[in-house]
Amino acid sequence: MDFIKHLFQLYKSKDQFKFVLPALILSIGFLFPSGAFAQEDAAVQAGKKLFNANCAACHKLNKRAVGPALQGVSAKYDREWLYSWIKNSTAMVKSGDAQAVAIYEEYNGSVMTSFPQLSNEDIDNIIAYTDYTPPAPVAAAATAGAVATQSAGSSLSNTIIIGALALVFLILIIMLFLVQKTLLRIAAASGVDIQPEPKIKRTPIWVSFAQNQFLIIVTVVLLLLSSAYFVYGYFMQVGVDQGYMPVQPIHYSHKIHAGANQIECKYCHSSARVSKHSGIPSLNVCMNCHRNIAEYNGEEDLENGYTKDFYTKEIKKLYAAVGWDETNQSYTGETQPVKWVRIHNLPDFVYFNHAQHVEVGEIACQKCHGPVEEMEIMYQYSPLTMGWCINCHRETNVKVESNEYYAKIHEALSKKYGVEKLTVAQMGGLECGKCHY
């Protein structure tokens, strides 16, 4: 009780906290920017939805993509013209409309998809969205000094908190020391004589230990056993690269692709369906999406420095490799194949087939590769040792349903082993020659 009281007094007297608290409050304030969007009207909201569904594949608001940037498009063209253009641009180009032909030629004759399903009202909404400039954030109105703190806000407050805690502990130690001193003084004052206990001469423990042969033998045996254990462990991990997480030439985040964007593994690693290799996707597969996604706009991980800028730069690396000219939206033909660092390396004498496991066995990729959708940087999740393979073969049942190939074999084998379901091992999955040839 006394202690808390003391601390409270201390808090009152020290002035560091005066700085800490407002800073904390300030930073919390920035995490929840003012509710500007609450005031948006319904048209803009509806337009945004429509824009993302129909237009975003080819258009950006303020940057040229496959098609022109759309911000402020209503100022450039007549509203009626826009209606008919969006609903059927081809017809307009054919009819020889000067504006239509001009834009058709500017974009090298690439035809804009027609959207006859959009009503005029929909188009109005879209235009409202493209015309809409979000009001300047409140934060901008704050003083320049505050903006400066904002950028460094979170890391600064952390340091301050840790510093404060350290101080508290220091004070505690000093206090304890003071208390003991006071108690001693009180004791002296009250005439209590506190004598340190007299030291008895004993044989030091290490001497008695050295003299005990039994103990020495036991210790030596234990030491030998434990060192053997560690030596064995060391040798067994030679060549096992579990957790291998090399730096890749392009920071490709499975977390963003497979996690946040929910892209199916086999969309990119398509040969896993048919081939022994899962395959590193060729760059044209990346460009299926990244033709339109030139910037990263998702969540950031500031602690590790994964800012939007960082990710966008990685996308630019892809463009450089595949030879994509962003300004002209065309391929230059100058390519620079990416030299990825291979993570999962099986020795040459092992034959592993992805199709067998992924397609026939319907094993989820994550079973061996781990939570890929959570991996910012890809790493080897499983040890890929033979024991690990064999264990799984012992435990996993063969997927025989609706596979004509297995029908007869499965019937006969399950009768033989008297089981309902057969494991891979029972199907012969432990034979040496199944994987080594």
Judged by CB under 8 A, the chain residues 266 through 285 that form the site for another protein are 271, 274-277, 279-285
Q: How far is the CB of 435 from another protein (least distance, A)?
A: 9
In whole angstroms, the minimum distance from the beta carbon of 239 to another protein comes to 6
Site for another protein in 393-432 (CB under 8 A): 402-409, 412-413, 416, 427-428, 431-432
The nearer residue to another protein, 22 or 428, going by C-beta atoms, is: 428
Backbone φ and ψ for 203, nearest 5 degrees, come out as: -70, 130
d(CA 405, CA 388): 27
Q: Could you give the count of Cα atoms lying within 13 Å of 91 in the half-sphere of its Cβ?
A: 10
Q: Which is nearer to another protein, 94 or 416 (CB)?
A: 416
436 lines the binding site for another protein (CB under 8 A): yes
CB of 350 to another protein, least distance (A): 8
Nearer of residues 289 and 409 to another protein, judged by Cβ: 409
Cβ atoms 337, 321 nearer than 8 A: yes
User: What is d(CA 304, CA 408) in angstroms, rounded to the nearest whole number?
Assistant: 55
Minimum Å gap between C-beta 340 and another protein is 5
- Does 371 bind another protein (CB under 8 A)? Our answer is no
Q: Which residue has the tokens 């950028």?
A: 151
Query: Counting contacts by CB under 8 A, is residue 238 touching another protein?
Result: yes
- Amino acid letter, 373: E
Site for another protein in 60-89 (CB under 8 A): none
Q: Which of 314, 338, 319 is nearest to 253 (CA)?
A: 314
Which amino acid is it at 86?
I
Segment 214-233, which members bind another protein (CB under 8 A)? Answer: none
CB of 290 vs another protein, minimal distance in Å: 13
Phi/psi at 230 (5° precision): -75, -40
**CA atoms of 26 and 35, how far apart (whole Å):** 16
* Interface size with another protein, residues (CB under 8 A): 58
Q: Do 266 and 358 contact (CB within 8 A), yes or no?
A: yes
Q: Specify the amino acid at residue 133.
A: T
Q: Which stretch binds another protein (CB under 8 A): 66-74, 125-133, 308-316, 331-339?
A: 331-339
Of 174, 152, 173, 170, give the one whose Cα is nearest residue 162.
170
Distance CA 165, CA 13 (A): 16
Beta carbon nearer to another protein, 70 or 283: 283
Buried b (16+ CB within 10 A) or exposed e, 283-307: beebbeeebebbebeeeeeeeeebe
User: Taking CB under 8 A as the rule, which mask of x and - marks residues 21-50 in contact with another protein?
Assistant: ------------------------------
Alpha carbon distances (Å) from 292 to 103, 129, 197: 20, 20, 82
**Residue with smaller CB distance to another protein, 189 or 432:** 432
Report the residue number, 282 or 304, with the smaller CB distance to another protein.
Answer: 282
Q: Which is nearer to another protein, 2 or 401 (CB)?
A: 401
Q: Identify residue 276 by its one-letter amino acid code.
A: K
The distance of closest approach from Cβ of residue 311 to another protein in the complex, given in angstroms and rounded to an integer, is 21
- Residues 304-323 vs another protein: string with x where CB under 8 A? -----------------xxx
Which is nearer to another protein, 193 or 420 (by Cβ)? 420
Q: Which residue in 40, 97, 131, 241 binds another protein (CB under 8 A)? A: 241
Reference 256, options 343, 373, 369; nearest CA is 373
Minimum CB–partner distance for residue 420 and another protein (Å): 17
Q: How far apart are CA 7 and CA 1, in angstroms?
A: 10
Helical segments of 191-212, H only: 205-211
Closer to another protein by CB, 361 or 370: give it. Answer: 361
b/e per residue, 143-160, with b = 16+ CB within 10 A?
eeeeeebeeebeeebeeb
Stretch that binds another protein, among 82-90, 106-114, 219-227, 240-248 (CB under 8 A): 240-248
Q: What residue ranges bind another protein (CB under 8 A)? A: 238-239, 241, 244, 246, 271, 274-277, 279-285, 321-323, 335, 337-342, 345, 347-351, 353-356, 359-360, 402-409, 412-413, 416, 427-428, 431-434, 436-437
